[in-house]
Amino acid sequence: MRIRPRQQLLDLWRAHLHTSFRDDTWVWGGRDGRNSISDAEQLMCLLYPSTELDSFALDPDSIATADDVAAVMAVLGDDIRVGGALVTKIEEFFDAYTGADGESNFAGGSYFRDVGFGEPTAAQRELEVVDSYSMSLSLCIATLRFLRGLQRYLVHEVRREARRLNQRIDDLTPRVSARLTAAMGGLIRSFVIHTPPFSSPAGQEILRLVNQTGASAKDVIADFSAALEQIRVQASTDVRSGHASDIDLRDDNLAFECGWAWGIDVNAGDIVDVTTRIATQPGYAVSEPYLYFTLVALDGIKDLYSQRTKEPDLFEPRQLLLVESLKRRAELTQRYWATISRFGTGRWPLEDLPWRTSDGKQSDYYSLAVTAFLIQDLLERESTTDLARTVAVLRQLAQRARIINREVPDDPAARLHYPGITLTLKGSEDVEAGPLLGYHVADFTTLLLKRSLQAARLARDVETREQLLDLATSSMDHMLERSIARGRSAGLWDNLAPLGDAAEAAPSWFLTERMMECLVVAHNTYTRPPLATQGMINATTGKISEAEHLLNQELLQVSDAVYSPRFKELEAIEQALDRAREILSKRPHTAEALAVDALLRLNALAYAREDATR
């Protein structure tokens, strides 16, 4: 079906409130119970669209003009009561995930899985994870923007409830800011640079990945070192705070990869000038980057520094230093993966599906994650170089995941969607001698949908853009089939998990939040001007020019111009051609339609005159 982001976002909000707000009581948690990530995702489904899209803003002024938004939010009340209800939920979140000492909690909790080694211990469930740091970045930014917008309205209110709400916001804002600082610190200390010797198993895996031509190991190592030389230099100069300092980044006999571990690096250094616990607490994660956690970290950091550009006064001075530190790591990481994905002169490593990680694992999900890095790199450089080859990889992945092709019984591709890939969190077994923990990731389709829509903004030719929008449409169809069809959570995601003893399906906030992100991206993609290539403009310009010339010829034939019906027709044609000129550079096909219509009308006038002469 056609993607309708506004209507589908409103439907998502309606379903969200129906399942979360029961008998005047907010119900936290979904299929996976409560934890710092799931609860943040539940809040983000409401706050993120309201702060990213003007037409979804939840401050009272906006609700007064957006009738459809007001109708959906009516379950929370009207006027400032909507804002008050959301402030209450935000307070509950911060009460739940802030300790008695005032320190923020980022535990993975129920998102940690048993992967065959035993159930996680209580201490292991308290381990902090990059997913929570990243989600907290986005949540805190959205919350601060929401609170700021609400206060702009409350300053003009004299009602007692407005004054009380304003005071609550004043008390809440420092707590949000403190969590934002802690989340940034956690991400800085979870960033890792992995430099295994080329002779090690990890180094050999990297060599096999990048050697797509069968060249000698010596030549591949030399080319690899040359391609990454600037990235190594950047890493050695830009990455200091929160990172181990005993890594030799200039040794060409060492392989190189960077990104985010699943949690704070076991070798992480302290962050100076940051007083939160997270700046110095010990880490447990092995110093190896995970593609999934690198991807979610980059998404959160992108929200961070894009907001730094829009509203720099949203951050405190010490936070601005952390933003810059994270931005340098994000740029370094994105540059690395964009480089290695296209390494060499023949077939890309990315085109050799599925992608293989340095620990020997392989999956189409990893291929999609690396493709996402490449698309984000192209977007930020506004480059269409290699876009066509990237689109071909996306399409092949969609086929392999049975998003385009039909799924068959016992299809192994079905595991990409449920339960998803399972990440083993190396180092987690060292916590109280517990089992090795796992982490399920089942967002393959939403990741494909989001990146297809983003890449469509780059396309400069109709064929590439249509391929990307077709991929997005197929992904949306796939996700709509997975939405919960009945029960209180109808309209949320997803229906692939077995019900067990439950009478009806509970929502996965993990997947629902990612669907919300996709719809926001779709909204932003559709608000951009349609494709207008120079070829389209040139072709239309010729039609407009011919029509204007014929119009001038017809005007020479008109007598008693002011009173002539013929002149009024020519005047209407002239207005249409003026409009065509006005929109030519932005909507060339619409301009072409106006020019063609003008040509047909001018031809009818000329034929009538010639017929009268005969």
Q: What is the pLDDT of residues 306-332, one digit of tens each?
A: 776 677 788 888 899 999 999 999 999
Q: DSSP letter string over 235-263?
A: HHHH--TTS-S---TT-TTB--EEEE-SS
Q: How far is CA 315 from the centre of its chain?
A: 22
Burial of residue 82, with CB atoms counted within 10 A of its CB: 0-12 exposed, 13-18 middle, 19 or more buried = buried
Q: What is the pLDDT of residues 148-179, one digit of tens each?
A: 988 888 777 767 788 889 999 999 999 999 99
Percent of the chain topping pLDDT 90:
64
pLDDT at position 173 is 96
Q: Is the pLDDT of residue 294 over 80?
A: yes
- Identify the weakest region by mean pLDDT among 137-151, 196-210, 245-259: 245-259
Q: Is the pLDDT of residue 283 over 80?
A: yes
Start-end of H helices in 354-421:
364-381, 387-400
DSSP 116: S
3-state secondary structure at position 193 = strand
Q: Is the pLDDT of residue 584 over 70?
A: yes
pLDDT at position 393 is 97
3-state secondary structure at position 424 = strand
**pLDDT band at 246; cut points 50, 70, 90:** low
Rounded CA gap, 171 and 157, in Å? 19
Rounded CA gap, 373 and 591, in Å? 37
Q: Which amino acid is at 387?
A: L
CB 594 within 8 Å of CB 577: yes
pLDDT at position 252 is 82
**pLDDT band at 498; cut points 50, 70, 90:** confident
Rounded CA gap, 57 and 68, in Å? 12
Q: How far is CA 126 from the centre of its chain?
A: 27
CB 32 within 8 Å of CB 128: no
Q: Which has more confidence, 608 or 207? A: 207
Q: What is the pLDDT of residues 183-205, one digit of tens each?
A: 999 999 999 999 999 999 999 99
3-state secondary structure at position 100 = coil
pLDDT at position 138 is 95
Q: Say how many C-beta atoms besides its own lie within 10 A of residue 410's C-beta.
A: 6
- Identify the weakest region by mean pLDDT among 44-48, 301-305, 396-400: 301-305
Q: DSSP letter string over 305-357?
A: HHHHHH-GGGS-HHHHHHHHHHHHHHHHHHHHHHHHHT-SSSS-TTTSSSEE-
pLDDT at position 460 is 85
Q: Is the pLDDT of residue 245 over 60?
A: no
Alpha carbon distances (Å) from 592 to 311, 538, 574, 585, 598: 41, 10, 14, 11, 10
pLDDT at position 560 is 59
pLDDT at position 137 is 95
Going along the chain from its start, the domains and CATH numbers come out as 5-190+318-526 (1.50.10), 191-290 (no CATH), 534-613 (no CATH)
Burial of residue 192, with CB atoms counted within 10 A of its CB: 0-12 exposed, 13-18 middle, 19 or more buried = buried
Rounded CA gap, 578 and 591, in Å? 10
Q: Is the pLDDT of residue 572 over 80?
A: yes
Alpha carbon distances (Å) from 437 to 111, 118, 124, 144: 10, 8, 8, 34
H or E element in which residue 603 lies:
helix 588-613
Rounded CA gap, 233 and 242, in Å? 18
Rounded CA gap, 492 and 484, in Å? 6
Q: Which amino acid is at 178?
A: A
Q: Is the pLDDT of residue 95 over 90?
A: yes
Q: What is the phi/psi pair of residue 422, to 5°?
A: -110, 120
